Amino acid sequence: MKPAPFDYEAPGHLDEALELLARHGDDAKPLAGGQSLIPLLNFRLARPAVLVDLQRLLGLASIRETEDGGLRLGAMVRQASLERDAAVESRAPLLHRTMPFVAHPQIRNRGTLGGNLAHADPASELPAVAVALDARLRIVSVGGERWVDARQFFVGLLTTAIEPGELLVEIELPPPPERTGWAFQEVARRHGDYAHAGVAARVTLDGAGRCASARLVYLSAGDGPTEAAEAAGSLVGAHLGEATFDAAARFAAEREIEPTDDIHASASFKRHLAAVLTRRALAEATRLARAEVAS
Partner 1 sequence: MTVPREIELRVNGRRIRGVVEPRLLLSDFLRHEADLTGTHVGCEHGVCGACTVLLDGEAVRSCLLLAVQADGREVTTVEGLGTPEALHPLQQAFRDEHGLQCGFCTGGILMTLVPFLERCPDPTEDEVRHALSGNLCRCTGYQNIVDATLRGARALRGEEE
Ligand X SMILES: Cc1cc2nc3c(=O)[nH]c(=O)nc-3n(C[C@H](O)[C@H](O)[C@H](O)COP(=O)(O)OP(=O)(O)OC[C@H]3O[C@@H](n4cnc5c(N)ncnc54)[C@H](O)[C@@H]3O)c2cc1C
Scanning residues 83 to 142, which ones bind partner 1 (CB under 8 A)?
100, 103-107, 109-110
The rounded distance, in Å, linking the Cα atoms of 274 and 285 is 16
Indicate the residue among 100 and 233 with the shorter CB distance to partner 1: 100
- Judged by CB, which is closer to partner 1: 83, or 166? 83
* Residues 55-94, mask of contacts with ligand X (x by CB under 6 A): --------------------x-------------------
Contacted by 56, from ligand X, partner 1, none: CB < 5 to 8 Å by type: none
Distances from the Cα of 42 to the Cα of 70, 159, 289, angstroms: 38, 21, 45
Q: Applying CB under 6 A, which part among 36-44, 148-156, 222-230, 244-252 lies near ligand X?
A: 36-44
Tell me whether residue 181 is exposed, middle or buried, using C-beta atoms within 10 angstroms of its C-beta: 0 to 12, 13 to 18, 19 or more: buried
CB distance 96 to 109 below 8 Å: no
Q: Does 162 bind ligand X (CB under 6 A)?
A: yes
**Cβ nearer to partner 1, comparing 8 with 68:** 8
Min dist. Cβ of residue 53 to partner 1 (A): 6
Figure out which of the listed residues 18, 36, 41, 77 binds ligand X, where binding follows CB under 6 A.
36
Q: Which of 17, 57, 73, 80 binds partner 1 (CB under 8 A)?
A: 80
One residue of 11, 175, 192, 222 binding partner 1 per CB under 8 A: 192
Which of 126, 132, 201, 257 contacts ligand X by CB under 6 A? 126
| Cβ 256 vs Cβ 229: under 8 Å | yes
Local structure of residue 76 (DSSP, 8 states)? T
When asked if residue 168 is in the footprint of ligand X (CB under 6 A), the reply is: yes
> Which of partner 1, ligand X, none does 259 bind, CB closer than 5 to 8 A by kind?
none
Q: Does 116 bind ligand X (CB under 6 A)?
A: yes
Could you say whether residue 112 binds ligand X (CB under 6 A)? Answer: yes
- One-letter amino acid for residue 151 of the chain: R
Q: What residues form DSSP beta bridges with 181? A: 203
Tell me how far apart the 2 most distant CA atoms of the chain are, in Å.
Answer: 64
Q: 102 vs 240, which CB is nearer to ligand X?
A: 102
Closest listed residue to residue 288, CA positions, set 96, 136, 125: 96
The H-or-E segment that residue 229 falls in is helix 229-233
Per-residue CA distances from 62 to 71, 82, 93, 174, 178 (Å): 10, 10, 18, 17, 26
Query: Which window, 18-26, 184-192, 223-231, 254-262, contacts partner 1 (CB under 8 A)?
Result: 184-192
Q: Which of 17, 32, 41, 205 binds ligand X (CB under 6 A)?
A: 32
Residues that bind partner 1 (CB under 8 A): 1-8, 10, 34-35, 38-39, 41-43, 51, 53, 55, 80, 100, 103-107, 109-110, 190-192
